[in-house]
Amino acid sequence: MPDTTVKDASLNQQTQETAANMAEIASLSAKIWALFLENSNQEKSENPDPLNLGPVLTDMMQAFFDNPQETADSALKLWQDQAAIWHHAMTKMLGETPDETTMPEIPAAGKRFAHQDWSENAVFEYLKQTYLLTSGWMQDTVENVDGLEGPERKKAAFYIRLFSESMNPANFFALNPEVLEATASSRGKNLVRGLQMMLEDIERGKGELLIRQTDMNAFEVGRDMAVTPGKVIWQNNVLQLIQYAPSTDTVYAKPLLFIPPWINKYYVLDLNPKKSLMKWLVGQGYTVFIISWVNPNESQKDETWDSYLQAVSDAMDICLRETSQKKLHLGSYCIGGTLTGTLLAKFGKTGDKRVASATFFTALMDFVDAGELQVFVDDKTIAMVDEQMEKGYLPAQTMASAFNMLRSSDLIWSYIVNNYMLGKDPFPFDLLYWNSDSTAMPAKVHHYYLETFYTKNAFSTCGLTVQDTPVLVSDITAPVYHVATKEDHIAPAGSVYLGAKMMENANVRFVLAGSGHVAGVVNPVATEKYQYWTNKDITAETLPEWLASATETTGSWWPDWDRWLKKRSGKKVAKRVPGKVNGCLEDAPGSFVKKRFDA
């Protein structure tokens, strides 16, 4: 009798706990729905097709109609494969051992299907296999059907992949065994925690769902990252100039000024002492300066590509005055490299001799194949972006969302499940904190960049005019160290190579690094990860041809760059105290980099 009483009391407690959680879930859901309605009632664009998908989908359907036999054969093959998967699942549900040889070839499952029930439970295994088969078939069909031109095929393939990733059964509460298991074991507490996080993320995004990808309270810029000692020695309306403190008794005479992208914040190059390229460069004996771009608002509405160029040129003068030198090295990354390329081309035309050498990290000069971001750019989508920039800048979340869409399975859907369905806090990760530290774009600069480079590809074809000077890539004359990364989806290595080849009047060393746009660049020597390829001859027409006769070296490419840079850096001089000539405004990393738009 006592045992029965204890069991009844325990069951009653569990029932009450479940009921309380369900009530909390209903309350939180109502608050989220109210925020959604409030946001949806705000003024929105009247454009029914903001991504300009209509023409692409029309072309895709026309390609299917123009190839009826190919389309029919493909659909029949899908139906037959689906039937085989169904037969396999039914056999397994009946307790028999299915014949694995009758199963069609199915794409790899990936980490989204790591839970054991996706393989051991016949129902969930069937859901997984039919999804993988169908999504693979959709993408293969778009990539292989005749009649789609290059840009249209690329855009169609991207959005088909985006759609298929959104339809992954792991994204749905009732179809995800891990979520169902967590809900049952915690009596719904996971959903309470998840909805609380969702509500906080919507409020933080001011009506938009701003998905947290890491613990946003685990890091602080200037405390956990961007901690290499230095001073802000100068600033204007668009940048702060940081000079790092020396860590060696003597330094090379010629300083190095680094120009990062303004699409992200500079401290990806100074994440922490173990990963910091800036700290490593200082340790090699260089006097290092870096630009910290402003996170713009209405105050930067009149800034242009030319004014950004002028800001860099002015920063160069400050660096030279601070170090009593006539020449310096420039380093640059991504869009910062494209800006630097146009500046160097102008210097080549006008005879400006201030640059001893230039280094480019994953920087495009030729945009004929400008990576996956190109799917967002055409005349109509640029007009939509202009509409979003009516206050003089592109909101920070807009660019962040575009980058997240490039890897939606990893950067969107996995967090929706982990955070909002499983109720788990995301893992503290410095790189994802940086990725979430979004930046806005000054309107005129951003429009110019999209139109001039992405749609017109003017720098490598017809030329463009910067600060009243017509320039082409071939006008660059300074010695160049050019780094591409093999798995880059933002600045494809093949396109970076073509841009390097166009610098026919410069002495170019081209290096191909392993990994991607960030990990291939931020690859500390001590980690001994990845590899890089070198080849002095860049006359090969394509990157694969260049790579065929290149030399592979294990580990980071940083020492190779160091050897190249030292040869051009002059004699050693006494170490330099930051701001000795220009004075100091504040400690590094400065105030510009700390400005956030999601607080």
Residue 554 burial class via C-beta count within 10 angstroms: exposed 0-12, middle 13-18, buried 19 and up? exposed
Residue 47 main-chain phi, psi, to 5 deg = -75, 120
Q: Is the distance from CB of 398 to CB of 388 less than 8 angstroms?
A: yes
Q: Is the distance from CB of 241 to CB of 235 less than 8 angstroms?
A: yes
Residue 242 main-chain phi, psi, to 5 deg = -100, 135
Q: Is the distance from CB of 338 to CB of 364 less than 8 angstroms?
A: yes
Q: Is the distance from CB of 593 to CB of 221 less than 8 angstroms?
A: yes
Residue 4: CB atoms within 10 A of its CB come to: 8
Continuous H helices in 41-104: 54-66, 68-93
Tokens of 555: 């580990």
| CA 504 vs CA 175, 192, 345, 444: distances in Å | 57, 61, 12, 31
**Residue spans of beta strands (DSSP E) within 346-427:** 355-361, 393-394
Q: Is the distance from CB of 125 to CB of 96 less than 8 angstroms?
A: no
Q: Is the distance from CB of 250 to CB of 575 less than 8 angstroms?
A: yes
- CA angle 444/448/450 to nearest 5° reads 120
Q: Which residue has the tokens 């139906």?
A: 79
Q: Which residue has the tokens 């290092």?
A: 288
Catalytic-role residue among 319, 334, 462, 584: 334
Q: Give the CA-trace dihedral at 356, 357, 363, 369, to 10 degrees.
A: 110
CA–CA separation, 476 vs 470, rounded Å? 12
Chain centroid offset of residue 139 CA = 22
Note if 462 is an active site residue: no
Q: Is the distance from CB of 586 to CB of 594 less than 8 angstroms?
A: no
The answer to whether the bond into 426 is cis (omega within 30° of 0) is no
Q: Which residue has the tokens 């759609």?
A: 163
DSSP annotation string for 229-298? -EEEEEE-SSEEEEEEPP-SSEEESS-EEEE--SSS-GGGGGSSTTT-HHHHHHHTT--EEEEEE----G
- Catalytic residue ranges: 334
